[in-house]
């Protein structure tokens, strides 16, 4: 592997020669320039990894050249060198993007250490950028349907603002993807994106999970612990399944939204936090409010901008695009050979109503990629309930059924179907349903479901 390339920009010939000898002696590929203009021309014509830039030069000084270098090639690491070093120059250089500041006469040990650290920092930054692109690809919002285009327009409008967003829609429709898209396109994109699944955390723990706790606040609190609000400071906090928070926790969340400060469980000091809160739920919050399970004033705080995500059955034009996306993503992340899906099989996928929405489709494609032996996924490779939708969930309608009873009937039937599809593998069924295993066990007990 070729050693990194270094460009020395200094008007003093002896300095250029001595620094060249030091760097070349370590195996670095070295180029030299006697002025800022000559250095900029060398950067435009060559791949340069690091620049050693003198501050005091006739003509254009180093502090003026520095931003031009980074404009030409933002990935270049720049180390400033000066015979008349001042604290002010060091501060200005750092603010303009310099990695380090070295005084003349140049110490060989200090120079090589600074170069090593600057190149390592540059490599870490490149790795981080590549990882961010990989993660961003995993959470891409995919689709060209009218419904999807409307959502993308909403995201583009609300993302640059500080407005809170309430994302509603059925389970598996991609509410988290929308929250991530808002964060990634906001001024907070460099800050943390912290997700909290309010339904997956036991009621007795969610308060400390959100706000943190001090040592001794409760049994098991053996040290001070930061909460999700603190971890999201300067970034975005995504409250998924927000309707599952207890009224007590809702009151504390409301205070954070109003005052911008938190108090740890067991503590007596407040802490300011700068957090943008996005929330999501598959429940009707107005109905939850009427039932006394959700605070109306909290809805007003969370629902500044509402985004309603349609189920997959209402955007079937996106199914072929999603199938292609899930196949290519699986191949990329797992090293599998690329497979294709036949037109007949794709037609059946388009006709299916997808009660589990995009998550169900994604899980199916993963299963087909693993289990299908041939390079083409055909109709016979599809599960029976996909090939014959009528054999799936059957709803038992009875006179006088309330909305709650009807909803529970659908939920019971769907949970039962997913459990059967997974041969009662609770962990896999919980993954397909996007619920915590503990919650799934509670549902099984509540609906008296059994494997027999």
- Of 387, 408, 438, the residue that ends a domain is 387
- Closest to 180 in 3D by CA, of 171, 317, 191, 327: 191
Tens digits of per-residue pLDDT, 343-355? 999 999 998 989 8
Q: Establish if 350 belongs to a structural domain.
A: yes
Kindly state the percentage of the chain with pLDDT values over 70: 92
pLDDT exceeds 80 at position 131? no
Q: How many residues does the chain have?
A: 452
Q: What pLDDT sits at residue 214?
A: 84
Q: What pLDDT sits at residue 51?
A: 96
- Comparison of pLDDT for 228 and 449, the residue scoring more: 228
- Of 310, 336, 361, the residue that ends a domain is 310
- Comparison of pLDDT for 127 and 376, the residue scoring more: 376
Question: Looking at the structure, do residues 216 and 75 belong to the same domain, yes or no?
Answer: no
Q: What is the mean pLDDT of residues 158-180?
A: 93
The sign one gets for the Cα dihedral 278, 281, 286, 288 is negative
Q: Of the ranges 64-68, 411-415, 439-443, which one carries the lowest mean pLDDT score? A: 411-415
C-alpha to C-alpha distance for 99 and 115, rounded to whole angstroms? 10
Q: What pLDDT sits at residue 186?
A: 94
Q: Of the ranges 23-32, 146-155, 185-194, 394-403, which one carries the lowest mean pLDDT score? A: 394-403
Which H/E stretch holds residue 279?
Answer: strand 276-281
Query: What rounded mean pLDDT belongs to the chain?
Result: 87
Q: Establish if 140 belongs to a structural domain.
A: no
Tens digits of per-residue pLDDT, 52-79? 999 988 888 899 999 999 999 888 999 9
Band of residue 84 on the pLDDT scale cut at 50, 70, 90:
confident
Q: Establish if 141 belongs to a structural domain.
A: no
Q: Is the peptide bond before 105 cis (omega within 30 degrees of 0)?
A: yes
Q: What is the mean pLDDT of residues 277-291?
A: 93
pLDDT exceeds 50 at position 135? no
Which CATH number characterizes residue 219's domain? 3.40.50.300
5 bridge partner residues: 29
C-alpha to C-alpha distance for 329 and 350, rounded to whole angstroms? 20
pLDDT exceeds 50 at position 414? yes
Q: What is the mean pLDDT of residues 370-383?
A: 93
| Predicted model pTM | 0.61
Q: What is the mean pLDDT of residues 206-219?
A: 82
Q: What is the mean pLDDT of residues 330-352?
A: 91
Kindly state the percentage of the chain with pLDDT values over 90: 54
Is 53:65 a contact under the CB 8 Å cutoff? Answer: yes
Q: Long-range contact list for 151-160, CB < 8 A, 24+ apart?
A: 151/178, 151/307, 151/309, 154/305, 154/307, 155/181, 155/182, 155/185, 155/307, 156/185, 158/182, 158/305, 158/307, 159/183, 159/184, 159/185, 159/186, 160/185, 160/186, 160/187
Q: What is the residue range of 82's domain? A: 5-135
- Closest to 55 in 3D by CA, of 22, 19, 12: 12
Which CATH number characterizes residue 38's domain? 3.40.50.2300
Count of domains observed in the chain:
4
pLDDT exceeds 70 at position 139? no
DSSP string, 77-132: EEEEEESS--HHHHHHHHHTT-SEEEESSPPHHHHHHHHHHHHHHHHHHHHHHHHH
Question: Looking at the structure, do residues 326 and 350 belong to the same domain, yes or no?
Answer: yes
The contacts of residue 114 (CB under 8 Å, 6+ apart) are 79, 99, 100, 102
- Comparison of pLDDT for 398 and 328, the residue scoring more: 328
C-alpha to C-alpha distance for 272 and 166, rounded to whole angstroms? 23
- Of 264, 290, 310, the residue that ends a domain is 310
pLDDT exceeds 70 at position 398? no
Question: Looking at the structure, do residues 451 and 365 belong to the same domain, yes or no?
Answer: no
How many C-beta neighbours within 10 Å does residue 98 have? 24
Phi, psi of 63 (to 5 degrees): -65, -25
Question: Looking at the structure, do residues 160 and 276 belong to the same domain, yes or no?
Answer: yes
Question: Looking at the structure, do residues 375 and 409 belong to the same domain, yes or no?
Answer: no
C-alpha to C-alpha distance for 218 and 220, rounded to whole angstroms? 6
pLDDT exceeds 90 at position 269? no
Q: Establish if 89 belongs to a structural domain.
A: yes
Question: Looking at the structure, do residues 158 and 246 belong to the same domain, yes or no?
Answer: yes
Which CATH number characterizes residue 407's domain? 1.10.10.60
Question: Looking at the structure, do residues 287 and 381 belong to the same domain, yes or no?
Answer: no
- Closest to 416 in 3D by CA, of 396, 435, 433, 398: 433
- Comparison of pLDDT for 301 and 395, the residue scoring more: 301
Q: Of the ranges 125-134, 260-269, 288-297, 313-322, which one carries the lowest mean pLDDT score? A: 125-134
Q: What is the mean pLDDT of residues 86-91?
A: 76
- b or e along 207-244 (b: 16 or more beta carbons within 10 Å of the residue's beta carbon)? bbbbbbbbeebeeebeeebebbbbbbbebbbbbbbbbb
């Amino acid at each position: 592997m070729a050693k990194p390339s270094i460009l020395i920009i200094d008007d003093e010939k002896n300095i250029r020669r001595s620094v060249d000898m030091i760097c070349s002696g370590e195996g670095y590929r070295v180029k030299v320039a006697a002025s800022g203009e000559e250095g900029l021309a060398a950067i435009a014509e060559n791949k340069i990894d690091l620049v050693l830039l003198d501050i005091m030069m006739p003509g254009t000084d180093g502090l003026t050249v520095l931003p031009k270098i980074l404009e030409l090639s933002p990935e270049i690491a720049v180390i400033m060198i000066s015979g008349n070093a001042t604290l002010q120059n060091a501060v200005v250089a750092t603010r303009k993007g310099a990695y380090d500041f070295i005084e003349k006469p140049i110490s060989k040990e200090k120079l090589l250490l600074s170069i090593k650290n600057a190149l390592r920092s540059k490599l870490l930054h490149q790795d981080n950028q590549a990882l961010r692109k990989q993660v961003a690809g995993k959470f891409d919002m995919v689709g060209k349907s009218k419904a999807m285009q409307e959502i993308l327009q909403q995201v583009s409008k609300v993302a640059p603002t500080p407005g809170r967003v309430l994302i509603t829609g059925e389970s598996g429709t991609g509410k988290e993807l929308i929250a991530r898209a808002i964060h990634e396109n906001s001024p907070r994109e460099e800050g943390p994106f912290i997700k909290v699944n309010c339904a997956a955390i036991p009621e007795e723990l969610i308060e400390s999970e959100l706000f943190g706790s001090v040592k001794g606040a409760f049994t098991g609190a053996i040290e001070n612990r930061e909460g999700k609000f603190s971890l999201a400071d300067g970034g975005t906090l995504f409250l998924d399944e927000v309707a599952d928070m207890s009224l007590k926790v809702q009151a504390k969340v409301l205070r954070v939204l109003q005052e911008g400060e938190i108090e740890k469980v067991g503590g007596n000091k407040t802490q300011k936090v700068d957090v943008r809160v996005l929330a999501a739920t598959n429940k009707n919050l107005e109905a939850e409010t009427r039932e006394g399970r959700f605070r109306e004033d909290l809805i007003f705080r969370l629902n500044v901008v509402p985004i309603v995500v349609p189920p997959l059955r209402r955007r079937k034009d996106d199914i072929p695009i999603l199938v292609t996306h899930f196949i290519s993503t699986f191949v990329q992340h797992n090293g599998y050979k690329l497979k294709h899906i036949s037109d007949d099989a794709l037609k059946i996928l388009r006709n299916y109503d997808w009660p589990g929405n995009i998550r169900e489709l994604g899980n199916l494609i993963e299963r087909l990629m693993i289990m299908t032996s041939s390079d083409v996924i055909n109709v016979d490779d599809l599960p029976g309930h996909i090939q014959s939708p009528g054999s799936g969930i059957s709803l038992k309608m009875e006179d006088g059924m309330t909305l709650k009873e009807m909803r529970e009937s659908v939920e019971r039937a769907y949970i039962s179907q997913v459990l059967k599809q997974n041969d009662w593998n609770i962990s896999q069924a919980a993954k397909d349903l996007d619920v915590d295993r503990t919650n799934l066990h509670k549902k099984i007990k509540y609906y008296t479901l059994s494997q027999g």
